[in-house]
Amino acid sequence: MEYYLVKWKGWPDSTNTWEPLQNLKCPLLLQQFSNDKHNYLSQVKRGKANKALKPALAEYIVKKAKQRIALQRWQDELNRRKNHKGMIFVENTVDLEGPPSDFFYINEYRPAPGISLVNEATFGCSCTDCFFEKCCPAEAGVLLAYNKNQQIKIPPGTPIYECNSRCQCGPDCPNRIVQKGTQYSLCIFRTSNGCGWGVKTLVKIKRMSFVMEYVGEVITSEEAERRGQLYDNKGITYLFDLDYESDEFTVDAARFGNVSHFVNHSCDPNLQVFNVFIDNLDTRLPRIALFSTRTINPGEELTFDYQMKGSGDISSDSIDHSPNKKRVRTVCKCGAVTCRGYLN
């Protein structure tokens, strides 16, 4: 007779018991057990004797179960913290990696000590129909960014000015898109190509649609240069220069960020960067929005070019190239035909 070692919910390991199949009323857990066992056996050489294999197999199944619980708890936490409509899912069918230990989910910029973010506009529109009247974009000297299907119609490099908290138009105004947050259900998943975590969409995203904001800790460019050296040595990069008009500030999403923290780089991306101004009209501190460049199908990974600036240009490199500060280059694994070979 087959017996299963059962870890009882809410009880310590010392109370684990061996149970026959007829005592178990948990078909989902049994199916996961079977899947984990099959996945492990498919990864090891079949020639090994069963006696040598069993302890390693048991250890793998226990680790996989603990990982599944940890990832579910992390998924629940992410959905409690988010303030947008789209749900966040977490998936790892590749390895035993669990939730990141030093990452904190935030919904908006977190200013570093000494940096002030004024999130209150000084004026707003009084439109009854922002499509046809002189609205916030016109006051800023630019075109309205969206069409009636909520798709972006301006070229990369053009700033987006949305209606703000002082505007008299309501929440259904067609010029309030980025401020409503991610509308799509997305999945943070473990990639199989060595790129760590990535993000894929679970629903179809139309071309030129707003997908997510890039948020993190707002730091000075001097601090960004210091951190950049450390990140390069670790082979990671989360720094985004806010260089729409000046080069004073940088967004660092390494420890504080949202779903965009997990979006991978591609030299042929399906997301495009735009600078956005809503309640904070300080041109040194634009919000960073990512819009789809084409139709993105369910299950497809989301990517953007880490060297793409809000101006629409490719950044040559914002960190000093002098011989004394030569940076460690991070190899690109995007696999695109147009791959440049390096992330920085």
Structure tokens at 48: 């090994």
**Cα 111 from chain centre:** 19
* Residue appearing with tokens 């259904």: 172
Please identify which of the residues 60, 105, 184, 214 carries the catalytic annotation.
Answer: 214
Q: Shortest CA distance to 228 belongs to which of 205, 208, 251?
A: 251
With CA atoms as reference, report the closest residue to 275 among 250, 309, 248: 309
CA dist 24 and 75 (Å) reads 27
Contacts of 109 (CB under 8 A, 6+ apart): 117, 215, 216, 217, 218, 251, 285, 287
Active site residue 214: yes
Q: How far is CA 148 from the centre of its chain?
A: 27
53 in Cβ contact with 44 (< 8 Å): yes
331's tokens: 């190899």
Active-site residues, by number, are: 214, 306
